[in-house]
């Protein structure tokens, strides 16, 4: 993919201040896109914008709480006011807290997990997808999880939300086609800021070495190629797809 493949495109990336979202934001910028950086804290968003700007890219910062429906609406309004319209949406924001057990999962925690991982993506797909369909078309990528296929105890609400996100991809691919393509990337175990407390442990290393064909966890940069493929013309005949980037976790 050429360095200017996405020149003239505006990409919105949620959860873009760290981890996979940060890597995706940088990858889209390197491919020529202007990037609307959306995350919970203004300072964190601005820090990423400063990084992208220093590298010669165009970017804007947008504080955004994915658990709030009205923040989804506000993000859409801000991006539209700043850039006119978006051509790419990457629904990356997510949270995966582990409860001691399903019985000990509170209603507040359950509701927050569903709101952040599923409801926000639904709202943003609806808003930006309709805008893309009415304009020049576009591409949406939902970042799900291999846990949506292979759920583990303690992750039931998160796995259910990500499985729902897979269904949203199928639904919106039909609703917004042919102008807008909608696809899913399903990451497996990755080393990120959010996972470092366990993903760098000896126990986890033993687990991936025995359970995954590639015998390791991924690094954030290794998600970028899948996203760039799906938002580019290379994937012009791809919609409604779920692409696993998981070291073989989904087949292990």
Give φ, ψ of 181 to 5 degrees.
-95, 140
Examine the residue annotation and report whether 158 is marked as an active-site residue of this protein: yes
Catalytic residue from among 158, 172, 176, 190: 158
Sheet holding 59-63, edge to edge: 59-63, 34-39, 10-14, 88-91, 138-143, 180-187, 242-245
Nearest to 144 by CA among 233, 243, 76, 74: 243
For residues 68-79, one letter each, b for 16 or more C-beta atoms within 10 angstroms of the residue's C-beta and e for the rest, the string is eeebbeebbebb
Measure the CA angle with vertex 236, ends 32 and 162; round to 5°: 85
What residues are annotated to the active site?
158
């Amino acid at each position: 993919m050429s360095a200017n493949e996405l020149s003239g495109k505006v990409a919105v990336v949620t959860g873009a201040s760290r981890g996979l979202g940060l890597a995706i934001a940088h990858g889209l910028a390197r491919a020529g896109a202007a990037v609307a950086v959306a995350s919970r804290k203004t300072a964190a968003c601005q820090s990423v914008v400063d990084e992208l700007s220093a590298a010669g890219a165009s970017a804007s910062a947008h504080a955004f709480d994915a658990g709030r429906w009205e923040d989804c609406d506000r993000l859409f309004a801000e991006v539209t006011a700043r850039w006119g319209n978006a051509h790419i949406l990457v629904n990356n924001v997510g949270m995966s807290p582990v409860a001691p057990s399903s019985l000990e999962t509170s209603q507040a925690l359950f509701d927050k997990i569903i709101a952040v991982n599923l409801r926000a993506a639904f709202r943003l797909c609806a808003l930006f997808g309709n805008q893309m369909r009415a304009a020049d078309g576009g591409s949406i990528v939902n970042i799900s999880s291999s846990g949506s296929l292979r759920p583990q105890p303690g992750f039931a609400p998160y796995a259910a939300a990500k499985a729902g996100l897979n269904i949203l991809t199928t639904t919106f691919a039909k609703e917004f086609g042919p102008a807008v393509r909608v696809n899913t990337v399903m990451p497996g175990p990755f080393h990120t800021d959010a996972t470092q407390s366990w993903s760098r442990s000896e126990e986890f290393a033993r687990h991936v070495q025995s359970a995954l064909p590639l015998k390791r966890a991924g690094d954030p940069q290794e998600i970028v190629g899948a996203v760039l493929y799906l938002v580019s013309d290379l994937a012009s005949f791809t919609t409604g797809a779920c692409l696993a980037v998981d070291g073989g976790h989904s087949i292990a």
